[in-house]
Structure 1
Amino acid sequence: MDEEPDEKLADRLNHLFATVRAKGGQEYSNEQVASAIRDAGTPISQSYIWQLRKRKKTNPTLKHLQGLANFFGVPAAYFFDDEVARNVDSKLDSLLAEQARLAQAVDNGEVRLMALRAGELSPARRKQVMELLDVVYRLEQAEHGNAEES
């Protein structure tokens, strides 16, 4: 059975809160989102966002939907168009996987040191380092491929 539009709105809004994170990796609060939307020119309260998320309010204005969409970086159609929502969610899932790989790499002290040193290089030297890393990466992938075939 398909969800009602009201349920889709709340579920999709909650999904955005769960997947689009602040710089430190924490979930945005209703107040942070409301404040940013207000700063962009649309009056909205944290309690109204809470009510949308809890299905207490189910018919937001277009301005509120647009404010929420802008904050989370999605089209407003995300909240009511299933195909748009699938496409956006797929991109969000890919982005989350990439962020997880990056976080894991940064936890490695050697990788962090390499990144810090690379950040101090000129753009031309960084390009050379990337080219070298690409060669080493391809060699290692070929070695792993040959080891698996044995």
Structure 2
Amino acid sequence: MGRGGSAPRDTSRPLLHDLDERLGSLITALYPDERKRPGYARLARLIRESTGGTISATYLWELATGRKRNVTLEQLAVLAEFFGVPLEYFINDEVSRRVNTQLALAVALRDTRVRKLALRAEGLSSASLDALLAIVNEARRVENLERVSKQQEPPVGPPGP
């Protein structure tokens, strides 16, 4: 037994303690409008039709609600293929964080106003971009929205072709 009367944690096997959260994030990113989000039966059918893999609606619900965590690598591969994420998303915290940052950006860009703001900022000087970021950060603070940390921001790379 480890400290506090608990058994020592075996770190040699990946723990899927937050599989439900990761699966929920993917479902929300793919279907942001709750009213249009498919039920688990339809989602299971869509997974089968697009990947050829099978996961029952009940089992999908159990995974998404945290009632089950015993998932095979093959089932994770089917989920990864359907949602378009690397298999490691489900078992590696760093990969999960990186993918979630990219998903948040994709979800934000679905909003026409966010896209227009980003497109209109193209070509502005660094000083102007910094000023716009300061304004957006202040607006987020005023509206009591979660602060975006440097870790959550997508990596900045060289401009595309």
Q: TM-score range by the shorter chain?
A: 0.5 to 0.7
The DSSP-based 3-state class of the residue aligned with 2:18 is helix
Measured at CA, do residues 31 and 104 of structure 1 come closer, stay the same or move farther in structure 2, by a change above 3 Å?
A: farther
Normalising by structure 2, report the TM-score: 0.56
Name the one with the larger helix percent: 1
Partners of 1:49 and 1:81 in 2: CA distance: 20
Q: How many pairs are equivalent?
A: 109
Q: Which residue of 2 aligns with 1:45?
A: 56
5+ residue gaps, structure 1 = 106-133
CA contact (8 A) 1:33 1:71 kept: no
Give the CA RMSD over aligned residues: 3.2
The equivalences for 1:50-89 within 5 A come to 50-89=61-100
Measured at CA, do residues 86 and 27 of structure 1 come closer, stay the same or move farther in structure 2, by a change above 3 Å?
A: same
Normalising by structure 1, report the TM-score: 0.60
The structure having more radius of gyration, on CA atoms, is 1
Offset at 1:104?
A: 8.6
Amino acid at match of 1:50: W
Q: Which residue of 2 aligns with 1:21?
A: 31
Offset at 1:98?
A: 0.7
- Percent identity of the aligned residues? 31
**1:10 and 2:25 equivalent?**
no
Per-residue CA deviation, residues 91-112 of structure 1 (Å, 9 max, x unaligned), is 111111110136997xxxxxxx
CA contact (8 A) 1:17 1:28 kept: no
Per-residue CA deviation, residues 38-65 of structure 1 (Å, 9 max, x unaligned), is 2222121111000111222111111211
The DSSP-based 3-state class of the residue aligned with 2:37 is coil
Following TM superposition, where does structure 1 have runs of at least 4 consecutive aligned residues deviating by more than 6 angstroms? none
